[in-house]
Amino acid sequence: MAATDDWTLRPPYTPASDRDSFTVQLSASCHCGRVQYHLDADAPLDSKFCHCRGCQIIHVGASFQHAAIFSKASVAFTKESINNISFYSSSTRDNAYSLPCKLRCSFCGTLILDEGRNMVLLFPSLIRFDSPEARSKFQVNHHIFYGQRVVDIPDGKPKWEGLDHKSRRLDEP
């Protein structure tokens, strides 16, 4: 089997029960429940709103995307979920599994997360938070691709025209 065919044998696709150490701290689900995953961390490495055109179009009807960054090792899909995931690569524009790619529930269409080469970028709206404190750990740190925004969000957070720390700041005065 070629290395690229082995994606089910590594995180985030291996179930929590197959990992050496994995403590479920948060859980998430698509709308229909056929795709579910657990997190063994209670806070992301980073959290941001992305206002790029790609996110606006792919997240149908959303003006921007709330992306929370986690290591792949912190994410575990449930065993049953694997067969219900379909892939989309925004760079090659096809459905073959190749990184980076976007994951969607094949049944209800919910976007689940973006898998990058080293990290996953997931959408906190899918997580079931049991308290305001748990939710507050996902507060955004900054806005990216704010130059492509369709709505202004005057929240006092840093705003980057493109990528964070690699583009001009567009903070409100």
In terms of Cα–Cα distance, which of 165, 8, 18 is closest to 83? 8
The residues in 79-138 that bind Zn ion, with binding defined as CB under 5 A, are 105, 107-108
Nearer Cβ to Zn ion, position 9 or 32? 32
Helix ranges (DSSP H) in the chain? 53-58, 132-136
Cβ proximity to Zn ion, 63 vs 136, nearer residue: 63
Q: Which range of residues in 54-62, 123-131, 148-156, 158-166 is near Zn ion by CB under 5 A?
A: 54-62
Beta-carbon contacts of residue 106 (< 8 Å; ≥ 6 apart): 34, 84, 85, 86
CB distance 8 to 18 below 8 Å? no
Distance CA 108, CA 95 (A): 17
* Chain residues 14-53 in contact with Zn ion, contact rule CB under 5 A: 30, 32, 34, 50, 52
**Count of positions on this chain that bind Zn ion (CB under 5 A):** 9
CB of 59 to Zn ion, least distance (A): 9
- Residue ranges binding Zn ion (CB under 5 A): 30, 32, 34, 50, 52, 55, 105, 107-108
